[in-house]
Amino acid sequence: MAALTLNPGKGEYLKSQVAGQSQHVQISNESAIDFYRKFGFEIIETKKNYYKRIEPADAHVLQKNLKVPSGQNADAQKTDN
């Protein structure tokens, strides 16, 4: 499931009713942020005090659209990163 979430390509996952995937990442975790960005995720929000037992407590919400709009194929949705 994780591999299909990051790179759905030609998998059956793309045909599902799921429109997108989001991840919460600690704002100081630059390697995780870079990792998700390489797979098309974008920061859409920062949640203050998301984590209760670690510092910094803030988290970025990263999101990737997975569902291909009707009338398009998976290759048409790919973007240059």
pLDDT tens for residues 58-73? 999 999 987 766 666 5
Cβ proximity of 62 and 41 under 8 Å:
yes
Residue 21's nearest CA partner among 10, 31, 7 is 7
Give 28 or 75, the one with higher predicted confidence.
28
What pLDDT score does 20 carry? 82
A 10 A CB-CB count for 4 gives 15
**4-46 per-position pLDDT tens digit:** 566 655 555 555 566 788 999 999 999 999 999 999 999 999 9
What pairing do the DSSP bridges indicate for beta strands 20-26 and 42-47?
A: unpaired
What pLDDT score does 65 carry? 87
pTM of this prediction exceeds 0.85: no
Residue 1 has pLDDT above 70, yes or no: no
